[in-house]
Structure 1
Amino acid sequence: MIWQILHIIDITLWVLILGSVAYVAFFAVISLFYEKEDRVAIHAAALTNRMTKFLILYPAYNEDRVIINAVEHFLEQDYPADLYTVAVISDHMKSETNEYLRTLPIKLLTPTFEKSSKAKAMQYAINEIPETFDNVVVLDADNVVRPEFLSQLNILCSVYDAIQCHRCAKNANNDVAVLDGASEEINNTIFRKAHNRLGLSSALIGSGMCFNYELFRKNVFQLSTAGEDREMEALLLHQEVFIKYAPEIHVFDEKVSNQDNFQKQRMRWMTAQVQSLMSNIPKIPGALIHGKINFVDKTIQQALIPRSILIVLLTGISIFVTLTIPQWCEKWWITLAILSLSLFVAIPKEIRFRSFSKVFTIPGLVLRMLKNVLHIDRKNTDFIHTEHTT
């Protein structure tokens, strides 16, 4: 009897974990196929020479270390200066930082929020800037882009109402930063590139995002949590707005380089994931009835076990079962091998081997993530700030 109970537990746990592994493996394979892109429409848009008017939003909470560098780089755009407006929403930044920003050709907004959040900063900007625009770009305070950034976006904006650019690492100064950068690229492969190749919407990532201005204005005031990107994504998918991933338009983002910041960042992400899952589940029946496949897929994503936890969990279980009940261990090792191969494929070739060489850093990071699980409050909407170190 005891062996039957143990076997049921073993199979149940394996099936639960297999669901997350299968999702990752499926989209890792899809990413290898040639992308079917509407190149005719994009080429036609390029020939029209239509010039989009952009509003660039930099929500900046206590970002004195990085905001000036990011804004100065952005102002080097090869796009007409009268067709884009850079707005920095300076929240709890030093007076000397604000004084310097006022010398630049930008709009500086200085709200005083009782409880700060990125959503509130964006809402404030839309209310305070009276001009109308064609598109809105949202960037983090540490994001750096190339001079051709807006010129590239201008072409895609004629075809798509929502675009997620390719956010990638601008630093790899230690093991944590390398792994964080690799994790970002895996997300780009699985949740963005592979999804578009199947005709599904890309996931949003919080920065490097571009939206039709009226679409953004309509939805930004419905955001209320610290996971504003997941909220925005769910709103767009429920409205059946397709999100395009633009792998050739790079946004360079600072990766966390110490374990404390890693834990803070993952705490924010895990809280947002739980909040998004709980918010989306009641809408699933309606989404299924109306064939909103993208919304259903997004809800499934929120239910997945985080990959780093999957790696450590599968490795630990495989070893434990091998030592205690070896006749049950084969399926665990096969599942671990599938996950490892899928992640290997999902990481770009140029950083693949460097990333896998840092694998022994993962257990310590996972322990910090597991501590976060005990403190997740799905009703908490407080903003968790991750400090920048460069």
Structure 2
Amino acid sequence: MEMIYSLIDILFWVLGIYLLLNCCYLAFFALVGLFNLPKSKKEANAYRKIAVLFPTYQENAVIVESVKTALKHQYPGTFKVVVIADGLQPETIVHLKELGATVIEVFFEKSTKGKAMQFAMNQLEQEGFDIAVVLDVDNVMSDECLLYINGAFERGNKVVQAHRVAKNMDSSFAFLDACNEEVNNHLFRKGHAVVGLSAALIGSGIAFDFEYFRHLLNNIGETVGEDKQLDFMIAKDKVEVAYLNDVYVYDEKIENAKVFTKQRTRWIASQVEFLKKYAFEGFVQLFEGNLEFFNKSLQTFLAPRMLLLAFLFIMSIQAFFNPFGPATQFWVGLFLSLCLTLVISIPRRFYTDKRLYISLFQIPRAMLGMVIALFSIGKAKKSFMVTPHHHKPVEEKEA
């Protein structure tokens, strides 16, 4: 019996050390993310030709409004709005062409965003584009966004991630999702950029050197997480992902728990996929001097934050009754440190908005959604779990 008790004690300590490392990683980047980055520059000697790509899956109403807005964007050089149409209605395609967009139709037995973009990029190969900008179907670029992206490429960058922010915060859940987006920006983009590491790609608001992007897509394979796959491929090539913290792309936030669960199911499935795929290679790359790749692989070991928060709360409670493993102060300390990490990662302007405090009551529903998502990841491999969108105006612009 004593051996069993010792084993239980060891297991609790192993769990504690794993969660401690999670909290230390997040806390480090939360703290360094408090430092400022240099302002983005738009000055350039040449204005590159840009393809603004909208990969679209059965989103007829939203894509029309997004294209209308994108076509009005002011850029001194040449840019084209390209809709990659998967499952759009014929009348929508006709309307998009009348508006002035280039439409590339794709037909797949099993749709993925990666395959759709790969097909489109190969179709556009001969049109002389220098930069490809990837937007989600609901995204809106801030003023002079393309000008700043062009400026980043003028300075030698090959991959650039803009600062994606909430387009709408019109429900408690949407506000909570907006907070989560900004926490990700602070930890995995700004914090990383401050210490000289690449920003993590977020799926949209990304600009690539056109030929490099085409090369990446032609080797991407089939995956539920094309942005994460691109992250690893870029890291392996030792290409930096620059982060434009003050250049915004507005993105629709999730309004209810059901859609949140569906989206997170896809995200967790993607994380598990790349944990299996790159965990060992991450250490190999580290010994070869590729810290960037190792860091990306390290991120696949991190527990999803909402689950981490819920689990640390449970562990803090159980520690008052459980004699095994670390002391109560250890678990409570980890829980409070994670809370502090999240507090300093949320933009200060949110704290003057009463909607923040109302949205906190949605955290238990978000936690439950993450648990459901964790046990539903098999669905993500069987179907293209697209997040539904609605046409939303930009609620407020960043300063």
TM-score, length of structure 1 as denominator length: 0.93
Is 1:331 matched with 2:309? Answer: no
Moved more, 176-185 or 203-212: 176-185
**1:222 paired residue number:** 219
Deviation digits for residues 251-272 of structure 1, max 9, x if unmatched? 0000111111111100111111
Moved more, 277-286 or 195-204: 277-286
| Corresponding residue SS for 1:318 | helix
User: 8 Å contact 2:30–2:341 — kept in the other structure?
Assistant: yes
| Corresponding residue SS for 1:20 | helix
Deviation at 1:377, TM superposition (A): 3.8
Deviation digits for residues 339-385 of structure 1, max 9, x if unmatched? 00011001111114643542332222222221222232499374211
User: 8 Å contact 1:74–1:147 — kept in the other structure?
Assistant: no
Deviation digits for residues 220-250 of structure 1, max 9, x if unmatched? 1122212000011100000000001101110
Aligned partners of 1:94 and 1:201: how far apart in 2? 39
Deviation at 1:15, TM superposition (A): 1.2
**1:101 paired residue number:** 96
**1:368 paired residue number:** 369
Is 1:199 matched with 2:196? Answer: yes
Aligned partners of 1:381 and 1:52: how far apart in 2? 40
User: 8 Å contact 2:159–2:209 — kept in the other structure?
Assistant: yes
Moved more, 111-120 or 367-376: 367-376
**2:388 paired residue number:** 387
**2:21 paired residue number:** 19
Aligned partners of 2:357 and 2:315: how far apart in 1? 21
**1:343 paired residue number:** 342
Deviation at 1:316, TM superposition (A): 1.4
Deviation digits for residues 53-86 of structure 1, max 9, x if unmatched? 1011100001123111111111112113x61111
> What root-mean-square deviation, in Å, do the aligned CA atoms of Structure 1 and Structure 2 show?
2.1
Deviation at 1:50, TM superposition (A): 1.2
Moved more, 111-120 or 369-378: 369-378
Task: Name the count of aligned residue pairs.
Answer: 383
Aligned partners of 1:383 and 1:174: how far apart in 2? 26
What are structure 2's unaligned runs of at least 5 residues? Answer: 392-399
Aligned partners of 2:117 and 2:314: how far apart in 1? 43
| Corresponding residue SS for 1:66 | helix
Aligned partners of 2:134 and 2:68: how far apart in 1? 16
User: 8 Å contact 2:29–2:187 — kept in the other structure?
Assistant: yes
Aligned partners of 1:77 and 1:140: how far apart in 2? 16
Deviation at 1:18, TM superposition (A): 1.1
| Corresponding residue SS for 1:358 | helix
Is 1:259 matched with 2:257? Answer: yes
**2:394 paired residue number:** none
Aligned partners of 2:365 and 2:359: how far apart in 1? 12
What are structure 1's unaligned runs of at least 5 residues? Answer: none
**1:114 paired residue number:** 109
Aligned partners of 1:360 and 1:352: how far apart in 2? 15
Aligned partners of 1:105 and 1:254: how far apart in 2? 24
**2:48 paired residue number:** 52
| Corresponding residue SS for 2:295 | helix
Aligned partners of 2:106 and 2:13: how far apart in 1? 54
Aligned partners of 2:356 and 2:5: how far apart in 1? 40
Aligned partners of 2:382 and 2:240: how far apart in 1? 27
Aligned partners of 1:51 and 1:333: how far apart in 2? 54
User: 8 Å contact 1:227–1:269 — kept in the other structure?
Assistant: yes
Deviation at 1:127, TM superposition (A): 2.0
User: 8 Å contact 2:132–2:209 — kept in the other structure?
Assistant: yes
Letter in 2 for 1:302: T
Is 1:303 matched with 2:294? Answer: no
Letter in 1 for 2:347: P
User: 8 Å contact 2:279–2:298 — kept in the other structure?
Assistant: no
Distance change >3 Å, CA 330–CA 368, structure 1 → 2: same
User: 8 Å contact 2:200–2:241 — kept in the other structure?
Assistant: yes
**1:209 paired residue number:** 206
User: 8 Å contact 2:306–2:370 — kept in the other structure?
Assistant: no
| Corresponding residue SS for 2:189 | helix
Distance change >3 Å, CA 16–CA 207, structure 1 → 2: same
User: 8 Å contact 1:201–1:242 — kept in the other structure?
Assistant: yes
| Corresponding residue SS for 1:191 | helix
Aligned partners of 1:218 and 1:381: how far apart in 2? 27
Identity of aligned residues (%): 35
**2:128 paired residue number:** 132
Aligned partners of 2:78 and 2:238: how far apart in 1? 29
Deviation at 1:120, TM superposition (A): 1.3
Greater than 4 Å deviation, 4+ residue runs: 323-327
Distance change >3 Å, CA 103–CA 254, structure 1 → 2: same
Counterparts of 1:22-101 in structure 2, within 5 Å, are 22-35=24-37, 37=38, 46=43, 48-80=44-76, 83-101=78-96
User: 8 Å contact 1:167–1:253 — kept in the other structure?
Assistant: yes
Letter in 2 for 1:376: I
**1:190 paired residue number:** 187
